[in-house]
Amino acid sequence: MGAEDSRALPATMLDGLRAAAPVMLGYIPIGFAFGVLARSAGLSVAETGLMSLLVYAGSSQFIGANLLATGVAAPSIIVTTFLVNLRHLLMSTALVPSLRQNAAWQNALLAYGITDETFAVNTAVLQGRPASPRFVAGLHISSQASWVVASVAGALAGHLVGDQAAWHFGLDFALPAMFVGLLMPNLHGENRKARYGAALAAAAVAVIATVTFPDPNWSIIVATLAAATLGVLLA
């Protein structure tokens, strides 16, 4: 265990806000891009903001906006977004050791804010240790607030963007770059062999699964399971 476990855990909403800084910086351009594309798909500014508030799932929102624009039936949209977000089941399960001491209603509210990015920050900071619900709430609320504000701003400024396809293509770099930035601090510390092994396994399996499965979202789930299994074996 040692010094790493003896560090004081962040316990306030302000601590959560500080921890959310890299997520918020990453959400601003991506949320803005969603707002632009949502407006081009026919959603109003209010609908764009409500989608970011009530759905709050980046890839699902991009997909959902496109499906709505093409007149796809609601059941098909629900099933599609469910499959895309199925990985959240794994992330929620992984956070159980840090949240089990909280009341059920608290965890129900905190679970709403779990995304790929907030999960990465939670695991990096908490490392399986009991978490203060205030810290997690601060992280989740701050992150979602930046996403909502950015998407509304994108919707309001959508008519100012000329080549929207080029805009979206240019932002494809933003999300991978943010995840690389969140990953690097987690490669240091105890059990470095397991950390590097899990990261390399996730990358390799993700590439193979993307080529193998027709739906690329399955590659995330398969890579997560493979990396977690290897990490446990090497730890």
Look at residue 104 and tell me if it is in a domain: yes
Residue 178: inside a domain, yes or no?
no
Higher pLDDT, 190 or 46: 46
Domain count, the chain: 2
**In this structure, what token pair is assigned to residue 105?**
């209603």
| Same structural domain, 135 and 61 | yes
- In this structure, the answer to whether residues 75 and 138 fall within a common structural domain is yes
In the predicted model, is pLDDT for residue 82 greater than 90?
A: no
Is there a single domain that holds both residue 102 and residue 209? no
Q: 27 and 140 in contact (C-beta within 8 Å)?
A: no
**Res 12: pLDDT:** 93
With bands split at pLDDT 50, 70 and 90, how would you rate the model's confidence at 2? very low
Residue 2 resides in a domain: no
111, 54: one domain: yes
One domain, residues 141 and 201: no
Section 171-196 average pLDDT: 69
Question: What CA–CA distance (Å, rounded) separates 118 from 97?
Answer: 16
Residue 179 has pLDDT above 70, yes or no: no
**In a shared domain, residues 104 and 78:** yes
Residue among 72, 83, 80, 34 at smallest CA distance from 56: 34
How many CB atoms lie under 10 A from the CB of residue 99?
18
Q: Does residue 112 sit within a domain?
A: yes
pLDDT of residue 3: 45
**Are the C-beta atoms of 230 and 193 separated by less than 8 Å?**
no
pLDDT at residue 1 tops 80? no
pTM of the model: 0.74
Answer yes or no: do 56 and 140 share one domain.
yes
Higher pLDDT, 146 or 230: 146
In tens, the pLDDT along 120-153 reads 899 889 988 999 999 999 999 999 999 999 999 9
Mean pLDDT of 195-206: 84
pLDDT at 177: 66
Considering the domain architecture, whether residues 162 and 62 belong to the same structural domain is answered as yes
Are both 158 and 45 inside the same structural domain?
Answer: yes
Q: Are residues 211 and 167 in the same domain?
A: no
Is 1 part of a structural domain of the chain? no
Residue-by-residue DSSP string for 208-230: HHHHH-SSTHHHHHHHHHHHHHH
Cα–chain center distance at 167? 21
Range of 55's domain? Answer: 10-173
Looking at the structure, tell me whether residues 29 and 69 fall in a common domain. yes
Model pLDDT for residues 44-74, shown as the tens digit of each residue: 999 999 999 999 988 788 888 878 877 888 8
| Residues 162 and 217 occupy one common structural domain | no
- Return the closest-CA partner of residue 32 out of 166, 153, 175, 145: 153
